[in-house]
Amino acid sequence: MIAQKLCASAGVITGDCAISLAIVRIINGVIMSSGKLLGISGSLRANSVNTKLMKEAARIFDPAEFTQADLRLPLYDGDLEDQGIPAEVMTLSNQIAEADAVVISGPEYNASISGVLKNALDWVSRTRMGPWRDKPVALMSAAAGRTGGARAQWIMRLSLNPFRPRLLVGPELMVASAAAQFDEAGRLTNERYEATLTELMDALRHEARLD
């Protein structure tokens, strides 16, 4: 009976409720659909604070099947596009399309977003798949400055608007003096940032109808 309820809540119509264990989990007595979360960091460097923040978002969003996007794409070039959309761009576009929700954390470079992130957005727009359309998306930023990349986050929002995702309006998470905000294990050390991130991930789960 419980298994049937689990299946029903997950929208599974098969009688094989072992499947439901992969789709829903019970946390503190609450049934939660796991879903697919895609994480995008606008920084490529290994010790990136934005990659750390994105991973913290995934930890808090859990349960979910988490995928980290790879933005090591060629620079957008129309001549390259004429030879066919690169396979790694198609992979990214498919990952966005298949995700129930996306979280993006980007650095601030000279009061704007990173070229790496803009390049990825431009390439994906050329796949003609429209993977962002109606996608629940949470934006975050982490930066060395005191505003935590506020300017970059606004530009991120403007850069995504043409693709018509469901961008969460808040809470806004901008991690300032970011290098000092994570411990050795990559966990946020500031309780206020963690609380805001938890609120943001709850809102993202809700927007993705995973709560």
Ligand X SMILES: Cc1cc2nc3c(=O)[nH]c(=O)nc-3n(C[C@H](O)[C@H](O)[C@H](O)COP(=O)(O)O)c2cc1C
AA identity, residue 166: R
Determine if 150 is a binding residue for ligand X (CB under 6 A). no
Binding mask 157-196 for ligand X (x = CB under 6 A): ---------------------x------------------
Q: Whose Cβ is closer to ligand X: residue 12's or residue 104's?
A: 104
Helix pair angle (87-98, 115-125), 10° resolution: 80
Binding mask 77-116 for ligand X (x = CB under 6 A): ------------------------------xxxxx-----
For residues 143 and 175, is the Cβ–Cβ distance under 8 A? Answer: yes
Residue 91 Cβ vs ligand X, minimum distance, rounded to whole Å:
22
Residue nearest to ligand X (CB): 145
Q: What is the CA radius of gyration of the chain?
A: 18
Question: Strand runs (DSSP E) across the chain, as ranges?
Answer: 24-27, 30-33, 36-41, 65-68, 101-106, 136-142, 166-167, 173-175
Contacting ligand X (CB under 6 A), which of 144, 186, 190, 211?
144
Contacting ligand X (CB under 6 A), which of 50, 93, 153, 196?
50
For residues 141 and 105, is the Cβ–Cβ distance under 8 A? Answer: yes
Find the part of the chain contacting ligand X (CB under 6 A) among 32-40, 129-137, 144-152, 193-201.
144-152
Determine if 33 is a binding residue for ligand X (CB under 6 A). no
> And the tokens for 195?
């609380």
Residue 143 Cβ vs ligand X, minimum distance, rounded to whole Å:
3
AA identity, residue 47: N
The 8-class DSSP code of residue 184 comes to T
Determine if 45 is a binding residue for ligand X (CB under 6 A). yes
Helix (H) / strand (E) containing 49: helix 49-61
Residues lying near ligand X in the complex (CB under 6 A): 43, 45, 48-50, 107-111, 142-145, 149, 178
